[in-house]
Amino acid sequence: MQRALTLYRTTIGKKVVMALSGAIMVGFVTGHFLGNLNIYLGPEALNGYAEKLHSMPALVWTTRILLLFALGAHVWSAYQLWRRNVLARGSHYKQRKDLATDYAARTMYWTGPILLLYLVYHLLEFTIIPAHPGDVYRNVVEAFQNPWISAFYVAANLALGLHIFHGIFSAFQSIGANHPRYNSYRRDVAIAISAVITLGNVSFPISVLTGIVTL
């Protein structure tokens, strides 16, 4: 335990915690996205999927607790790394020069807060105080019939895609899996996973607005 705490105090340790907690959340986001694909099979399929999950409270609550722990560790580690970078900087640069290699890396610290706001809204809208309890399909379709909600959902998922892309790409480096010969492959994997999740999630509001998915 002492060794673990000592490691966590280092920059590498905090990045490892971010990588592992991020992997847990990406796993959930992937599963959540796959489950939501039931919307294309109609209300019975999506509502049946939701009812099946609610029939397994042990699994649901274990997942929620694990995700809450992972989210807390991820956010706290990100804040500490950001704080450490600010303190190490000392003074403002005469000329700002980003060392990050891509746009996603430079936006990690603002996509994170956007995703937190999106998470709060998502939980309130579809889980905590849904307009039609027990009817997930109707809740989703009615929400996405509002262009403003759909626009916010699309923007949030674009931010999620950037966050996931850089998170997956940098996670390998954080855990020591970094080699010039294979870096292009892990970049391709990061692009593929983030693209599939982003395009899939964005397709839900677009399908509702275009009338592909209706009540």
70 pLDDT above the threshold of 90: yes
Mind listing the pLDDT tens digit for each residue in 158-210?
999 988 888 887 776 665 666 666 667 778 888 999 999 999 999 999 999 99
pLDDT band per the 50, 70, 90 thresholds, residue 67 = very high
pTM of the full structure:
0.81
Torsion of CA 182, 11, 63, 194, to 10 degrees: -40
Class of domain 2-209: mainly alpha
pLDDT band per the 50, 70, 90 thresholds, residue 126 = confident
Gap between the Cα atoms of 164 and 64, Å rounded: 20
Amino acid found at 106: R
Are 123 and 168 in contact by the 8 Å Cβ rule? The answer is: no
Q: Looking at residues 55-62, what average pLDDT do you find?
A: 93
Q: How far is CA 153 from CA 26, 51, 206, 213, in A?
A: 18, 24, 10, 16
Q: Average pLDDT, whole number, for the chain?
A: 83
pLDDT band per the 50, 70, 90 thresholds, residue 88 = confident
- Domain boundaries along the sequence of the chain: 2-209
Rounded to an integer, what is the distance from CA 71 to the centroid of its chain?
A: 10
Q: Looking at residues 105-122, what average pLDDT do you find?
A: 78
Percent of the chain with pLDDT over 90: 46
Mind listing the pLDDT tens digit for each residue in 28-43?
999 999 999 999 999 9
Place of tokens 């807390």: 72
Gap between the Cα atoms of 107 and 163, Å rounded: 8
